[in-house]
């Protein structure tokens, strides 16, 4: 997902397998001349693998039992409800199992453009309009025959010769109609017919198998059976074969030589079993079931290709041109359409169902997210969002207080400290840039934050050391106050003082800004609020040359300045029954809980912007 600059992505700790244990000293990655041996252990924001580890904070969850961030890779999903996205009808699990994962009511998608099809009556309100009824109701009165119509591309089921008598239960009606309007037999009729045929065959001689010239088969010739029929036939055939072979029918034995070596035949299976199972072997060998033969006719599920089949297709393609052929996407949309070469072979696609899912932690199996099962409800019973547990980071540019780089000093220093003029889509290379990083604390306990970053960002392109940007965090260690109600703070005297102080600081900052004096100092936070602290980052962007035509790495992100940032937070929190106690109670000291020290560490990637490319 492309977010606008500046963005922050969080790396789920599940991606670090061995490189990071809790014992890793965060300072090992501190800018100390760029220790080469530590380079490997830092998060490589440019590696292709990083794409799978980074998420915006909203996408992440937090497991309260593991005290860890959870990403889509480390949670498991459980389907709670199936529903049709178009009619919002809930499907029971059993229905999905029996009828498949598509809407079996009247929801269809256009086979050409995949937008929703609407059911349109051909003769709209013929004579049923009554005077008394509201005009709104009259609009709905359309009478059959009905057809499906795409409001986006104007495709209609009339084009493939399908019309419906009723405006409801289109799915069932469509099942019975082939393209071109031919009505197919229902499954029951088919089975009955099959049974009749088979009886005829079994009563007759073997020669009938080789020449299935029954009247029914010739009738079918004009319409080749579709995949579903073939599968049904094949299924029925094998069922009957199993029945015959286990029943010890003499008929099955006659074909033993033909199919004994077929891989899937039970004869082969029993032979293999006798090979490996020594105790079973000799006994089984004697009453070995009669092997089955393979399907031979269309009735038995074999698709017979005729010589002119393909020629016909080529011919029609030649006649109708490119537009009449289906795209791969259209064919992939539904199994019915997979063999469709021409647009006229496509069938309307029943809408795929969607699901509501709950999420569990993969490690401890605790539920992280549990929505209400109803489709219409958007509330959650349980929702443990990472953004309620881990501090969020916001980045914004700050006008360079003084040009540290070689470039000319910034031309206009605005009164406000936020540089609206700095375009993050074209950051001037090799010119110092100051960024303000604000850390917000969502927890009800004050946290100690330690930030670390590799002194040089990973190279944007292989073999381009100049493209590495130098990053310095002026104040890598600081505290962020607790979150909570705004009123808690007003009640708390100490906090009030600090607040006043911060206001004073801010005022002073504003004053100094007005005169363009405020300098970012090393080891000092820039600004501090109730539950947030901002520090200054200094970046010396690398130089990025214009993309080399041959380089396959020079994609669209080849000039994005991204800073890997390691965040470690430490805080003390109460455990046990007092966990839910409000900050007021805690401040009053009414409840004495056991304090627990917790720490959390993770990598982030700060996307600053694009470095302007030099020719």
Q: Which chain residues interact with other proteins by CB under 8 A?
A: 56-61, 83, 85-88, 113-116, 118, 124-125, 129, 135-136, 138-139, 150-153, 354, 359, 369, 375-376, 378, 380, 383, 385-388, 392, 440, 532
As a whole number of angstroms, the distance between CA 585 and CA 589 comes to 6
The phi and psi torsions of 157 (rounded to 5 degrees) equal: -70, -10
Helix 227-246 crosses helix 187-203 at what angle (to 10 degrees)? 40
Are 3 and 560 in contact, with CB atoms under 8 Å apart? no
Cβ proximity to other proteins, 427 vs 449, nearer residue: 449
218 bridge partner residues: none
Strand-strand pairing, 90-91 and 108-109: unpaired
Select from 336, 310, 328, 351 the least CA-distant residue to 160: 336
As a whole number of angstroms, the distance between CA 155 and CA 136 comes to 26
Strand-strand pairing, 75-83 and 544-545: unpaired
Q: How far is the CB of 326 from other proteins (least distance, A)?
A: 17
Q: How far is the CB of 302 from other proteins (least distance, A)?
A: 38
In angstroms, how far is CA 255 from the centroid of its own chain? 51
DSSP per residue over 73-100, as a string?
A: GGEEEEEEEEE-TTT--EE-HHHHHHH-
Q: How far is the CB of 115 from other proteins (least distance, A)?
A: 4
Q: How far is the CB of 146 from other proteins (least distance, A)?
A: 15
Cβ proximity to other proteins, 75 vs 237, nearer residue: 75
Cβ proximity to other proteins, 59 vs 366, nearer residue: 59
Cβ proximity to other proteins, 388 vs 614, nearer residue: 388
Cβ proximity to other proteins, 155 vs 237, nearer residue: 155
The phi and psi torsions of 76 (rounded to 5 degrees) equal: -115, 145
Cβ proximity to other proteins, 127 vs 219, nearer residue: 127
Select from 170, 608, 591, 474 the least CA-distant residue to 348: 170
Q: How far is the CB of 569 from other proteins (least distance, A)?
A: 17
The phi and psi torsions of 238 (rounded to 5 degrees) equal: -70, -35
Q: How far is the CB of 343 from other proteins (least distance, A)?
A: 17
Strand-strand pairing, 613-614 and 544-545: parallel
As a whole number of angstroms, the distance between CA 12 and CA 71 comes to 6
Q: How far is the CB of 112 from other proteins (least distance, A)?
A: 10
Cβ proximity to other proteins, 136 vs 183, nearer residue: 136
Q: How far is the CB of 287 from other proteins (least distance, A)?
A: 57
Report the sign of the C-alpha dihedral through residues 469, 475, 479, 482, in that order: negative
Q: How far is the CB of 105 from other proteins (least distance, A)?
A: 13
Q: How far is the CB of 417 from other proteins (least distance, A)?
A: 16
Cβ proximity to other proteins, 29 vs 326, nearer residue: 326
Cβ proximity to other proteins, 139 vs 409, nearer residue: 139
Report the sign of the C-alpha dihedral through residues 133, 134, 139, 140, in that order: negative
End-to-end CA distance of the chain: 29
Cβ proximity to other proteins, 83 vs 171, nearer residue: 83
Cβ proximity to other proteins, 150 vs 160, nearer residue: 150
Cβ atoms < 10 Å from Cβ of 423? 14
Length of the chain: 615
Q: How far is the CB of 372 from other proteins (least distance, A)?
A: 11
Are 55 and 9 in contact, with CB atoms under 8 Å apart? yes
């Amino acid at each position: 997902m492309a977010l606008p600059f500046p963005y922050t992505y969080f790396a789920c700790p599940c991606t670090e397998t061995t490189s990071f244990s809790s014992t890793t000293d965060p300072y090992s990655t501190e800018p100390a001349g760029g220790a080469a041996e530590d380079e490997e252990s830092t998060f490589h924001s440019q590696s292709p693998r990083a794409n799978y580890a980074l998420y915006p904070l909203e996408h992440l969850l937090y497991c309260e039992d593991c005290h860890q961030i959870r990403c889509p890779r480390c949670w498991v999903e459980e389907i709670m409800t199936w529903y049709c996205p178009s009619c919002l009808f809930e499907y029971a699990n059993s229905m999905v199992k029996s009828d498949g994962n598509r809407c079996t009511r009247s929801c269809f998608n256009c086979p050409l453009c995949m937008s929703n099809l609407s059911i349109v009556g051909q003769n709209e309100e013929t004579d049923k309009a009554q005077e008394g009824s509201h005009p709104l109701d009259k609009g709905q009165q359309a009478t059959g025959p009905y057809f499906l119509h795409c409001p986006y591309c104007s495709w209609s089921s009339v084009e493939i010769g399908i019309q419906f008598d009723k405006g409801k239960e289109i799915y069932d009606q469509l099942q019975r109609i082939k393209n071109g309007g031919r009505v197919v037999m229902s499954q029951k009729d088919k089975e009955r017919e099959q049974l009749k045929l088979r009886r005829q065959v079994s009563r007759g001689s073997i020669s009938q198998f080789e020449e299935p010239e029954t009247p029914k088969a010739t009738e079918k010739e004009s319409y080749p059976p579709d995949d579903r029929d073939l599968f049904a036939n094949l299924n029925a055939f094998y069922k009957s074969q199993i029945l015959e072979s286990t029943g010890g029918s003499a008929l099955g034995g006659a074909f033993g030589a033909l199919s004994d070596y077929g891989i899937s035949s039970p004869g082969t299976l029993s032979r293999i079993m006798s090979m490996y199972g020594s105790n079973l072997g000799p006994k089984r060998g004697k009453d070995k079931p009669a092997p089955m033969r393979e399907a031979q006719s269309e009735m038995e599920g074999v698709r017979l290709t005729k010589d002119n089949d393909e020629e016909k297709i080529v011919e029609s393609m030649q006649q109708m041109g490119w537009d009449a052929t289906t795209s791969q996407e259209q064919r992939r949309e539904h199994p019915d359409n997979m063999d469709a070469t021409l647009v006229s072979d496509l069938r309307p696609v029943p809408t795929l169902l969607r699901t509501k899912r709950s999420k569990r932690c993969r490690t401890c199996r605790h539920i992280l997210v549990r929505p209400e099962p109803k489709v219409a409800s958007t509330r959650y019973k349980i929702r443990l969002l990472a953004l309620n547990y881990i501090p969020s980071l916001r980045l914004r540019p700050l006008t360079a207080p003084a040009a540290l780089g070689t470039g000319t000093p910034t031309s206009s220093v605005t009164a406000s400290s936020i540089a609206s003029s700095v375009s993050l889509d074209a950051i001037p290379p090799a010119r110092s840039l100051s960024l303000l990083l604000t850390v917000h604390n969502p927890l009800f306990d004050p946290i100690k934050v330690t930030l670390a970053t590799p002194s040089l960002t990973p190279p944007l392109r292989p073999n381009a050391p100049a493209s590495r940007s130098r990053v310095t965090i002026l104040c890598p260690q600081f505290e962020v106050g607790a979150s909570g109600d705004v009123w808690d703070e007003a009640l708390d005297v100490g906090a009030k003082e600090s607040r006043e102080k911060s206001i004073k600081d801010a005022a002073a900052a504003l004053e100094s800004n007005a005169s363009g004096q405020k300098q970012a100092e090393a080891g000092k936070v820039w600004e501090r609020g109730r539950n947030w602290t901002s520090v200054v980052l200094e970046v010396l962007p690398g130089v990025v040359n214009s993309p080399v035509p041959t380089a396959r790495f020079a994609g669209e992100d080849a000039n994005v300045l991204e800073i890997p940032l390691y965040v470690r937070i430490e805080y003390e929190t109460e455990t046990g029954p007092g966990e839910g106690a409000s900050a007021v109670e805690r401040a009053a000291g009414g409840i004495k809980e056991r304090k627990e020290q917790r720490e959390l560490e993770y990598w982030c990637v700060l996307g600053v912007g694009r470095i302007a490319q030099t020719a």
